Amino acid sequence: MIETHNLTRKFESLTAVDSVTLTVNDGEVFGFLGPNGAGKTTTIRMLCCLISKTSGEARVGGYDIGNDADSMKIRKLIGLVPDNVGLYEDLSAYDNLDFYGKLYDCPEPQRKENIKKFLTMLDLWDKKDAPAGTFSKGMKQKLAIARGLIHDPQVLFMDEPTANLDPESSRTVREFILGLKKDKRTIFLNTHNLDEAQRICDRIGILNTRLMALGTPDQLEGSVGRKQIVIQLEQLNDAILGAVKKATAGSVSVDGNRLTIDTDDPDKENPAIVSAAVLAGGRVQSVSAVGSSLEDAYLKLVREEN
């Protein structure tokens, strides 16, 4: 659905986005992680045809962002939730959405249906007649999300959709995004929130002007180091240790009655290892999986770049 090849944007002597190559599949939730000034918003603005590229190529829905005729087609098939909501504050929530729906030539029956649908899903239907200027930050953000979807776009770009929101509003937005995911919409999400990215993104790109890494959350976590299984036993002996070693290809270290086993997939290996320990007479007090996190991968890559 989205393809870029060496996509680059320069502002005079500053390179904001440097030779980014990636593919976002149809129906995928793709997350961009990166520090302030990493080029995340600039990338979205290029893909939405709001600013021009300096060099490279990019296509959205098969249309070229560098072609004027294709740019108009791209704008019709995408929705955008910018970092600055930019609502008409004197208009009601309903009228804001109705106005933008008309701009997209969305037929009146569909507009009415979508306005009610999205305002209801985002817990704003009872505020439909209130001016947007009276809304809290969280309510404005949710209204901006509804605006980005009013014309049923195939692709939704979201730039920091939960920034500055309280926990309850952030949760509502996350759940809404997961609902869109079930509808097989393609979502391109910029975020600083590592937990948010891990919960809702199929794949994540770590950007710091250049694309530093790309993969699923699990793949990025694994890029830092192997995970470990930690088994606390009531009593450890040679028979139990030997049985555990036979049940795994990973290295096993001993600390008192605690075993630590290196593994690539704790969920897959846990049952066999625990079963081996129990069959050898071990009494297991606790089992836990530890290892690198998405935060570890992110910090390692960003620090290496700097």
**Length in residues, the chain:** 306
Q: Please, are residues 59 and 14 in contact by the beta-carbon 8 Å criterion?
A: no
The position carrying tokens 């440097």 is 18
The position carrying tokens 């893909």 is 47
Give the pLDDT confidence score for residue 292 in this predicted structure: 64
User: How is the beta sheet containing 227-233 ordered, strand by strand?
Assistant: 252-255, 258-263, 227-233, 284-290
Structure tokens at 59: 């296509």
How far apart (Å, rounded) are the C-alpha atoms in residues 206 and 296? 12
Structure tokens at 289: 């999986």
Domains of the chain, start order: 2-221 (3.40.50.300), 226-290 (3.30.70.100)
Give the pLDDT confidence score for residue 296 in this predicted structure: 75
Q: What is the mean pLDDT of each run of 10 residues along the chain (306 residues)?
A: 96 95 94 91 96 96 93 93 90 96 92 94 94 91 92 93 82 86 90 86 93 89 74 94 91 92 82 93 89 75 68
Task: Give the global pTM.
Answer: 0.79
- Quick check: helix, strand or coil at residue 6? strand
235 C-beta neighbours (distance < 10 Å), count: 10
Q: Please, are residues 26 and 1 in contact by the beta-carbon 8 Å criterion?
A: yes
Residues 6+ apart with CB under 8 A from 238: none
Structure tokens at 115: 């306005």
